[in-house]
Structure 1
Amino acid sequence: MGKHRKDSGRSWTVSVALPGSIVDNAQSVELRTYLVGQIGRALAVFNADEVIVYDDCAQLDTAGKPLEGEFRGAGKRSSSEANVFMARLLQYLETPQYLRRELFPVHKDLQYAGLLNPLDCPHHLRARAVSRWREAVVLDRPIKPGEGSLVNAGMRHEVRIDRALKPGVRVTVELSKATRGKLADPFSANPKGIVVSPKVPRKTAGIYWGYRTRIAGSIGKVFSECPYDGGYDCTIGTSERGRNIDEVTAELPAFRHLLVVFGGLAGIETAVDADQQMTCPGEDAGSLFTYWVNTCPRQGSRTIRTEEAILITMSALRPAILAKGQSS
């Protein structure tokens, strides 16, 4: 999602926050899995750069600590608590298929992952696809000191990178020009590349490069643990008691880091009431956001499910986001 030429970069970002508790409303593991798949597809379609799965009940883990922090895969927690379940599946979906076996050990949360429709993002590349960048995982292969590491980048041959890194780490690799020129030849060997930030494809060429996933222990920590310098400079909360979204899109200011927050079955207000660190009551939840919006006025159903609200809201906001995203 960006108003740019194909060869121009994008430094502004879009983040989406939603509670993991919505999966508890599904009647089976298969349906919970498919629900997360729908959300993952929506995030990718609208070029979300970050997804925050927050706890709208402010629960604690078995050690009495909040469930929060950047989600780093199956090894972080063994619980199938709803927030972790959603975060694990969202991260699995975002990971290129050729890396999943190495990054995701067998886990019960993933038992129905075969039901998920692929995201088919630009970084989900085929073996012979020509691309300046690729996602890769560092391999546990013997290599001479000072000669970097070998990574699996989904190509016919392993790629040698410029750094010695710990095996099992996911990295973004910029392939050398010589390697990119040989990709059409399936028998070309000795590919080389350098490790770069996963933000580089977006900032350099405006290419959507997937989303990062983090868990917030409460709705307040969606804001306080923002990974961007200066935090989110424009925030939108969704509620049937908010302003008509058509009014908001007309006045959306220029932004660098936009956050759109969705509530669960009982809305954002309940999540605010559950957060003991919040100083305002749930009924005043709108005061936490730059805009408090109703994205589907005069709806024909009594309820709009969160996965539906994401599609409705991001569709309505898209023109304004494209126009107001501000490069730094």
Structure 2
Amino acid sequence: MGNKKKRGGLEPELKEAATGENHESQNELSLANGDSSSCDNKKKKKRKRDQLNDDAPIEVPTVSVAVPGSIIDNTQSLELATRLAGQIARAVTIFRIDEVVVFDNKSSSDNYSRSSAANRSNRSDENESGAAFLVRLLQYLETPQYLRKALFSMHSSLRFVGMLPPLDAPHHLRKHEWAPFREGVTLKENAPNSVGTLVDVGLNKHVVVDQVLDPGVRVTVAMGTNRNLDADSPRQVVPPSKPKESGMYWGYKVRYAPNISSVFKNCSYKGGYDHLIGTSEHGDIVNSSDLTLPTFRSMLGYALYYWVIASVDCFWWTCWFGREH
């Protein structure tokens, strides 16, 4: 009997101890659940940050070159001027230059407007300055062949461009070639059964983009992986810098500068050029192996030669040094 009472007296204590252990295990379980939920929240936040970083544009270092328009003025004929412009365009493409700045060393005006540029570009080759001629030829040669007829009207300065070999740049794609991006021009025709714009991208059929754009505008189209041109899903218009962010060279842009000072003042890149390389016949002779380039965001190489042969040689050297170092 005494033993039974003793066991009965211990039962409440055992129950309390068991209850305490259950509470502790529940607390530990809740703490563990809290830790796992906090870890999940941290992972979700990290994924969101990674997505934002992926969507943010990638800053790709750019290399620009400046060349005087007077090298065209020194040529003896329109045919030789066209060949010289073709050599410059080929050098720019081979060395993956991002921007060509053509400065007019015969112009004294610091203020340059788009209207004056348009008036200058509409002149005939007899009255057109060397800088305006070079700008026109460089823009024409950079444009893919299937877009030139839609984007360029007939002009006497383009009389001999047919004798130049094609640049065969990465964005000069043929009909049978497929790439993640293609250059195109918007058309007047309405997109069938969809809200968007028809774009000629140089394929057998036009594609539809997801934006309503004016006709005659050059655009960069993300083609994706679906090669079915009959699909109703529209393609996407992307900035011209998007292919370069993917590691592809996507041509160069041309900028006109009325004088040498506007080459630096009117930089088209945010923050301006942070590294400059200048070459001149009056400069010091330095071996390229002795020169090192720091990390740069936008580099500009410019030549202060005004003779034809010297300018071309210096131009090739500037392109090579900017990309190979």
Could you state the TM-score of these two structures normalised by the residue count of structure 1?
0.73
Shift of 1:244: 3.4
SS where residue 243 of structure 2 aligns?
helix
| Corresponding letter in the other structure for 1:37 | G
Query: Equivalent residue for 2:150?
Result: 102
Correspondent of 2:104 among 51, 55, 68: 55
Correspondent of 2:262 among 221, 238, 258: 221
SS where residue 242 of structure 1 aligns?
coil
SS where residue 67 of structure 2 aligns?
strand
Query: Equivalent residue for 1:202?
Result: 244
Query: Equivalent residue for 2:129?
Result: 81
SS where residue 296 of structure 2 aligns?
coil
The answer to whether 1:91 aligns with 2:139 is yes
SS where residue 31 of structure 1 aligns?
helix
The CA distance in 1 between the partners of 2:317 and 2:288, in whole Å, is: 15
Q: Which moved more, 1:78-87 or 1:153-162?
A: 78-87
Correspondent of 2:277 among 236, 244, 252: 236
Query: Equivalent residue for 1:252?
Result: 293
Paired residues, number: 264
Shift of 1:226: 0.5
Larger radius of gyration between Structure 1 and Structure 2: 2
Identity within the alignment, %: 42
5 Å matches for 1:149-188?
A: 149-179=197-227, 182=228
| Corresponding letter in the other structure for 2:238 | V
The CA distance in 2 between the partners of 1:317 and 1:71, in whole Å, is: 32
The CA distance in 2 between the partners of 1:316 and 1:50, in whole Å, is: 15
Shift of 1:241: 2.6
The answer to whether 1:309 aligns with 2:314 is yes
Shift of 1:97: 0.3
Deviations 1:19-78 (A, max 9, x none): 111111111101101110000000101111000100112256xxxx85566999x88731
Deviations 1:198-222 (A, max 9, x none): 000001x210000001100111111
The CA distance in 2 between the partners of 1:32 and 1:308, in whole Å, is: 16
* Contact 2:112/2:258 (<8 A) preserved: yes
Deviations 1:205-257 (A, max 9, x none): 21000000110011111111111111000011111232334368533211010
SS where residue 235 of structure 1 aligns?
strand
Query: Equivalent residue for 2:52?
Result: none
* Contact 1:157/1:189 (<8 A) preserved: no
- Runs of at least 5 residues in structure 1 that lack an aligned partner in the other structure: 1-8, 267-302, 321-328
The answer to whether 1:36 aligns with 2:85 is yes
5 Å matches for 1:226-305?
A: 226-246=267-287, 250-265=291-306, 304-305=309-310
- Runs of at least 5 residues in structure 2 that lack an aligned partner in the other structure: 1-57
The CA distance in 2 between the partners of 1:77 and 1:316, in whole Å, is: 31
Q: Higher helix share goes to which structure? A: 2
* Contact 1:159/1:191 (<8 A) preserved: no
SS where residue 190 of structure 2 aligns?
coil
Shift of 1:118: 1.3
* Contact 2:274/2:297 (<8 A) preserved: yes
Query: Equivalent residue for 2:235?
Result: 193
SS where residue 162 of structure 2 aligns?
helix
Q: CA 1:68–1:248 in 2, change beyond 3 Å: closer, same or farther?
A: farther
* Contact 1:58/1:66 (<8 A) preserved: no
Shift of 1:117: 1.9
The CA distance in 2 between the partners of 1:27 and 1:47, in whole Å, is: 29
5 Å matches for 1:3-18?
A: 11-18=60-67
Q: CA 1:254–1:48 in 2, change beyond 3 Å: closer, same or farther?
A: same
Q: CA 1:207–1:144 in 2, change beyond 3 Å: closer, same or farther?
A: same
The CA distance in 2 between the partners of 1:26 and 1:261, in whole Å, is: 20
Alignment root-mean-square deviation, CA: 2.7
Query: Equivalent residue for 2:171?
Result: 123
SS where residue 313 of structure 2 aligns?
helix
